[in-house]
Amino acid sequence: MADKGGKSAITPREQDYPQWYQDVIREADLAEPAKVVKGCMVIKPYGYAIWEKIQRNLDGRFKDTGHVNAYFPLLVPQSFITKEAEHVEGFAPELAVVTHAGGEQLEEPYVIRPTSETIIGHFFAKWISSHRDLPMLVNQWANVMRWELRTRMFLRTTEFLWQEGHTAHASHAEAREEVERMLHVYGDFARDVMAMPVIRGIKTDSERFAGAVETWCIEAMMQDGKALQAGTSHDLGQNFGKAFDVKYQTEEGVLDYVWQTSWGVSTRLVGGVIMAHSDDGGLVLPPQLAPIHVAIIPIYKSDEQRESVMAAANALKERLSAIDISPPRARWRDFITVEIDDRDLRPGAKFYHWERRGVPIRIELGPKDLEKGQVCVKMRIPTAAGEGKEFLATDAFIDGVQARLATYQSELLRLAQARQEAKTIHLDTWDEFLKTFEGDSSLFAWCHWDGTAQTEAEIKAATKVTIRCVPLPGQGPEPEPGVCIKSGKPSKQRVLMAKAY
């Protein structure tokens, strides 16, 4: 592990935010660039454990809303991609194509899926014939590949893991309910599990998914004020239904095309959770996603001490590991995960080790504690759940540990919300706008916009700022008429502007 002179190997955020992000990932042992495969990453066990927790939780939410899992091929016939005009245009530049297999050139190349609307459309056409087959509510957990020109670990890699929900409905209204429902599944998950506040809204035409009628999204603010598109939910209208001939017989007996949706979140969420909470000491994780909740550091000198301290540490681990911290109505059980660090290192080195990895609770357990029947507790960051070293009676600590984790979780959300609010402003003049977004700086700005793609493009060209979304009701300022910050033309409401990842 890289170590700069025995001190922190993590670049402070103030000094170089992107470097800080890379350092946190390396020092927490979450992932590393694959190097031998351009733009790809290796997700290491500790990083993958976070993804597994994200998966498990979301998967339960999808099933709670009536969806079932399925799996479709990685390779998609090239001709499929070209069937929906906007879809090709959007994805053609970033496709990886398989032209040879089995030592022969293929008659028709396959593309490695960048997303699966096309091949799933093909199968929906086979599976759906009647309104009785609808709605069809399918999700797949998969990897996809997009040949991005610029990559960043977790946030944008050539290959990434995600889930993609694909549904077909008998009416546009029903499909739109689905789009909204799933957006809120994402938004609630971000808030309640990731402790990451998000703005829920609708994309402008230029930011819309290629082939969609409308794209709904959640946008999160990272600590540098930039926005991260954390999840999307698309109203596909009948676009793919028409392209893949997905027709069904209505109750009245006439043929119509189905109304489809698709929605997805990816391993980008891991990048989001890293940036939402971590500090210059490394990773900070919300307990609901932390692979390890408690690290116990045994303290001893002699062999006799080691024996008694380790016995106490194991007993403590056993008691903590029996505590069920599953969310209400979860389809799975989650228990407090405890790691006893008995490596032959000095305690100080171990403290830093677990802090870099974002373990919420650290316990020091030494001979003095055994005598007094207490534990020394230190939380990863100071919150209402506790700060500094606390010396607590062992039983009292165990009785309160679940509440302690819950408080820590909600405090992370509160802190993230406070950061977001501090960096969210209203802007009304182009001069202020330029000043605000000068150089590399960014924050969330609610601004009036005339609703034209041209103005949007001009703003982006001048400042790299994009319209992140038009907020859903309650997600931004109350709609009130005004004038566009750039063109001065009339505007119906403020939209969210920021630089994005």
Residues that bind RNA (CB under 7 A): 1-3, 5-9, 18, 33, 35-39, 90, 93-94, 146, 148-152, 155-158, 160, 162, 207, 209, 229-232, 264-268, 299-301, 344-349, 351-353, 355-356, 362, 364-369, 376, 378, 389, 464, 500
52, two tokens: 């597994």
| Minimum distance, C-beta of residue 174 to RNA, in the bound complex (Å) | 24
| Minimum distance, C-beta of residue 324 to RNA, in the bound complex (Å) | 27
**Complex with RNA: residue 364 or 411, whichever CB lies closer:** 364
**Complex with RNA: residue 93 or 490, whichever CB lies closer:** 93
| C-beta of residue 297 within 8 angstroms of C-beta of residue 341 | yes
| C-beta of residue 195 within 8 angstroms of C-beta of residue 276 | yes
Separation of alpha carbons 188 and 231, rounded Å: 11
**Complex with RNA: residue 83 or 226, whichever CB lies closer:** 226
**Complex with RNA: residue 230 or 289, whichever CB lies closer:** 230
| Minimum distance, C-beta of residue 499 to RNA, in the bound complex (Å) | 9
Separation of alpha carbons 219 and 197, rounded Å: 9
Measure the CA angle with vertex 214, ends 208 and 215; round to 5°: 55
**Complex with RNA: residue 247 or 460, whichever CB lies closer:** 460
| Minimum distance, C-beta of residue 388 to RNA, in the bound complex (Å) | 8
Measure the CA angle with vertex 217, ends 87 and 453; round to 5°: 60
| Minimum distance, C-beta of residue 460 to RNA, in the bound complex (Å) | 7
Give the residue from 199, 200, 195, 206 showing the smallest Cα distance to 182: 200
| Minimum distance, C-beta of residue 29 to RNA, in the bound complex (Å) | 12
| Minimum distance, C-beta of residue 3 to RNA, in the bound complex (Å) | 4
**Complex with RNA: residue 132 or 389, whichever CB lies closer:** 389
Among left, alpha and beta (phi > 0; psi -120 to 50; other), residue 330 is beta
Diameter of the chain measured on Cα atoms: 84
**Complex with RNA: residue 110 or 300, whichever CB lies closer:** 300
The single residue listed with the structure tokens 């400042």 is 463
Separation of alpha carbons 303 and 319, rounded Å: 24
Radius of gyration of the chain (CA): 25
454, exposed or middle or buried, with CB in 10 Å at 0-12, 13-18, 19+?
Answer: exposed
